[in-house]
Amino acid sequence: MNNSISLLTVDDDATDAKLIKHALAELNIECGFIHFIGYQDLLEYLRSPGFIMPCIILMDLNTPQMSGFEFLEIIKNDPIFRRIPAIVLSGSTSLTDVNRSYSLGAAGYMPKPGDYEELKNMLGIIHKYWFVNKLPAIY
Amino acid sequence: MEIFKSVVILLVEDDPGDQKLIKKSLCSDRIKNELYTASSGEQAWEYLRKSKTDNEDIPMPDLILLDLNMPGMGGKELLKLVKADEELRSIPVVILTTSDADKDILESYELQASGYIKKPVSIDEFAVVMRDLSEYWFVICKRVSHVTAADKRCFVGGANE
């Protein structure tokens, strides 16, 4: 990830998003960062003229109103949004949830880290992996 | 972040030089892996079809590393088949290719690739890329659980967790 890539996160807990932002800064990872509290907000953003690619989505599964699974089904059936890598970051370690997420097209499924250091380590690895990957730039 | 069993990787690559390089990079990695190699899309599809049965010699992969440009069945064609298959679609597929054409990148993600890596030129860079890839898929990501008929027999009456 570099500053031309945006990291979009969906989490109804604003504290988690603040921690991610803080960890990215501490790791000197320069990328766009936008936090959404729900999937409706994220979908509105994706459909707005201001939406910029390339981006990756770091998503929670259990959110009020629309679940992560519902969101995955929507974006993975959309001709444009289906190109965006969506990584699940969830408190659930149920194998059913893991398999369902991958079957719906998630580009990774990771358990929510237990503490801040684990979060930093995880973001560092996500950064290194997506930095070497080519992402669809424009459409 | 514990690793309970070795990771199964299916490498689909027609170039013997690249096969060797990838094998070497993965061997030097700290994550224990079983690497199966298919030299063509057809061979890979044959492997994947057989992996759906309970054959211990042909385990279902945890990850597929897929070249795009191969004679016969190309990478995109194979990716399309994998993602259309109910039992195989949950396996993450990462493209590993010499092409960095926008069209290939776009189409691969449209077909639900879980990453697109341009093959590095130097051996050292290759090792770094393979390490980053392994850390992402096998250290921080949960792996897909392939439920075999043997597992089902073990878990009769209980949750398969």
ipTM of the complex: 0.92
Taking Cα atoms as reference points, which of A18, A39, A29, A124 lies closest to residue A86?
A39
As a whole number of angstroms, the distance between CA A70 and CA A104 comes to 10
In this structure, what are the phi and psi dihedrals at residue A126, rounded to the nearest 5 degrees? -60, -45
Task: Express each pLDDT in B85-139 by its tens digit.
Answer: 999 999 999 999 999 999 999 999 999 999 999 999 888 898 899 999 999 999 9
| A40 and B CB contact within 8 Å | no
Provide the phi-psi class of B157: left if phi over 0, else alpha when psi is between -120 and 50, else beta. Answer: left
Tokens of B10: 């299916």
| pLDDT of amino acid B102 | 93
In angstroms, the CA A72 to CA A87 distance is 10
Residue B118: its chain A contacts at CB < 8 A? 134
Tens of pLDDT, residue by residue over B26-85, are: 877 667 789 999 999 999 999 999 999 978 889 999 999 999 999 999 999 999 999 999
Phi-psi category of residue A118: left, alpha or beta, with phi > 0 → left and psi -120 to 50 → alpha:
alpha
Check residue B32 and give its pLDDT.
78
Contacts of A121 in chain B (CB under 8 A): 140
Joined tokens for residue B17: 């030089």
pTM of the model: 0.90
Helix residue ranges per DSSP H, B111-161:
123-134, 149-154
Q: Bridge-partner residues for B34, per DSSP?
A: B8
Summary mean pLDDT of chain B: 87
Question: Is the confidence at residue A99, as pLDDT, over 50?
Answer: yes
**CB–CB contact A125 B132 (8 Å):** yes
Residue B147 pLDDT class (50, 70, 90 cuts)? low
**Which pLDDT value is given to residue B10?**
97
Whether A64 and A38 have beta carbons less than 8 Å apart is answered as: yes
CB-nearest to B92 from A79, A102, A133 is A102
Q: Is A53 on the interface with B (CB under 8 A)?
A: no
Phi, psi (deg, nearest 5) at residue B44: -65, -40
How far apart are alpha carbons A38 and A9 in whole angstroms? 9
* Whole-number Å distance between alpha carbons of A81 and B140: 25
